[in-house]
Structure formats: structure tokens, C-alpha cells
Amino acid sequence: MGATTRSQPNRGRASLLTADRSTRPVFVRALGTAVPVTVLHQPALRDLLAAQPGLSRLGLRRLHAAFDASGIDTRHSVVGEFQAAPEAAEPWLVDLAGERVLAPSTGTRNAAYVREAPALFLAAAKQALASTDLAPDDVTHVVTVSCTGFFAPGPDHVLVRQLGLPPTTQRFHLGFMGCYGAFPGLRLADAICRADPDAVVLVVCAELCSLHLHTGDDLDTILASSLFADGAAAVVLSGRAPAAGEDVVTLDALGTTLSEEGEADMAWTIGDLGFDMVLSKHVPRILGSSLPAAVPSLLGDVEPAAIDRWAIHPGGRSVLDHVQDALGLDDDDLAPSRDVLRRFGNMSSATVLFVLAELLRRPATADETLAAMAFGPGLTVESALLTRRTGTSAA
């Protein structure tokens, strides 16, 4: 399937890659994922947060309701204190012995990001490259994506050094975009590959959401504490085709649109005690009501019923429920997203790539059309259309 021709944006609110795109194919050569070793079990974290002082009866009810309805069993964190305190070290975020969640400064939390993020970026990048015939030396461009910490020289610089790439490797970092951040990364890689068919672009999303764990009665804080986790995902894109006989995945089209409402319902800001999430209970409803009208902006002429497999960002169980209803999808369509949510929680920008990687691990007996979609502050909805051709048909 070639590049999809898209309809014009609704009310001027959408931005699309349309017919001016090169017809040169862009291949998704590999995906890789990585999570930290510390596992958070949802009931145990719920009980830890419920034991915090100052929690009102209303807050306690909200906490139990949010955790029990989350659809999450386990998550991962770079903070080892959630399972065992390091020897001879003062706890900085979680004091297990005292059953207390501490309130470190933003600087302390960001220092943990600087320590821990590079290893997560690197692990996902190495896994992606190891699953293809491309070597680190083949990478011409590096794009890193993250919204949970800052430092400079940044993750892009560190990743180039750790992979042993030439100092002339072109680097880009996309920061603070939220859960849809993988798509601007894909869009940049897509543009590079269409301009230069020899380019090999490594896009890596890594998020350390658990560093910003808060306690409190308000619903935003409770929802965030029940959902977010740490993880990284990498994707390698190139104009270079895979070897004959391999499955071929092409990135065909990308879309973005803004909802007419919801700018105040999802936000990510920097506070004195970490990054603060605004996550209104209205977000699932807003997404559900706005998606049907946005389909032409996101999928062009392709009807949802024509999509064989879906990689929907699991922003939460209720988000998936509303998206499923809005797009008329069945339970099988959402099963990969719900499975990633259950095992890993919401890892912000990396999560949709976890779902896409899960889809591509499943064998295909015929050519398939895939759609990926994610949501974030704005309310922003981003999408990608891909085609998967089996090794037999690709040959």
C-alpha cells in the first residue's frame, strides 16, 4: 500500500503528511523494548499508598477504586526502593521500613533520571538493532524522546557515545510531549528516510514516570499513581529494504489532530516536588466523543473496519473502552493494548511501541494493514498507518 492520501484537516485543526510525501517506501526494520528490573505489583503499591498519613476517607475510596479498576497487574520502576532498600543508603523516594512514600524535590527526582535513563535508552536501542541485520555503525541519525526528565548533553548525545557511533551522527531530542511523543519521533524519522534513502534512523523513547510518584487526596494525583510506569522502546527505520524472504513493514502515513475540547483536562507541568500530572476523569469521554469525527484526519480514506490490527496506546482501561466504542472495534482488536497495560502499565511515549512490537511478534499468514494511535496533552491524537507484507509476498 502506498502513501495514503489524506482529507483536509477539520476546521484547520489537524496537520497531516499528505500527497506531497515522496512515494519512496520507509521500512520499519526492527523494534525493541526494555523495562527496569524492579516490579511493582498493583495491590502492594495500592496498599502502600493507602497507608500514607493524611489520606482522607474520600481519598482512600478514590485510591482503591482507581487501582482496582486500572486493568493493571504489574508495572516496572527504576527505583529499587520499591522492593528493597539499597544497603547503607538513605531512602529518597520510598521508605519500606517505615511504609512511607517520601516527597523529594524536583532536583532530586531529576538527578535520578540522569542516573537511570541512559541505561534504559541503551537497552531498548540494543535490542532493536540486535533483531535486524543492521549494525550500530549503520545508524546515521538518532532521535530520542522523553518527557520525564532533562539533562544536557542529553539522551541523544549519551546514546551516540554508548553505541560507539561517529561524533558526526545527526542527533535530535524531542522532549515533554507526553504519551503521543513516539509519533513526532516517527514523523521526523520518516522525513529523513524519504529525503535520504540510505539513512538509518534510530528512534528511542524512554520514560521514568515512577520518579514523579506523589501522594494525596486529589483525583489527578491518585489516577497518575495508579497508571504510570517506566519503560523504553526503540524503532529502527530506513529506506533500505530488508533481506529477501523477511516480512516487510512499511510506514505509509502519519496523522495528527487536536480535539476541540480538553486542553485543560490533560497536562504535564513541573512543580517543586516533581512533575505534576493533570489527568481529568473527562479524558476518556472527550476522546470517545471526538474520535469518530477525527477519523478522516487520522486514517485518511482507510475505514476502521479495513484495519487488520490495531496498536492503541493504553492510556488507561477507561480510555481503551471509549476508543473501542468510538471506532467500533472488537475485543480482539484491543487485546494487545489491554495486555500491555496489564503487564506494564502506562509508560507514556514508549507504550504504543510496546503494543506495536507485540503485534509484529505475532505471525501473519497474509498481508496486513496496521494502525497505531496515541493520545496526549492537548488533547492531541496521533496516528500511523503501516503495511505488513509476509516474507512470501514481499519476495
d(CA 279, CA 283): 7
Cis amide leading into 379 (omega within 30): yes
All three cell numbers of 153, joined, read 548533553
Rounded to whole angstroms, how far apart are CA atoms 376 and 352? 12
Rounded Cα distance between 224 and 209, Å, is 9
Active site residue 179: yes
Q: Do the Cβ atoms of 125 and 204 come closer than 8 Å?
A: yes
Work out whether strand 274-279 and strand 266-271 pair parallel, antiparallel, or are unpaired. Answer: antiparallel
Identify whether the C-beta of residue 234 lies closer than 8 Å to the C-beta of residue 204. yes
Closest CA to 33 of 132, 121, 140: 121
HSE (CB half, 13 Å, CA atoms) of 141? 24
Strand partners, 172: 143
8 A C-beta contact, residue 197 and residue 286 = no
Of the residues 179, 193, 205, 209, which is catalytic?
179
Burial label for 369, CB within 10 Å (0-12, 13-18, 19+), is: middle
The cell for 168 is: 558526526
The answer to whether 269 and 301 are in contact (CB under 8 A) is no
**Count, residues in the chain:** 395
**Which residues are catalytically annotated?**
179
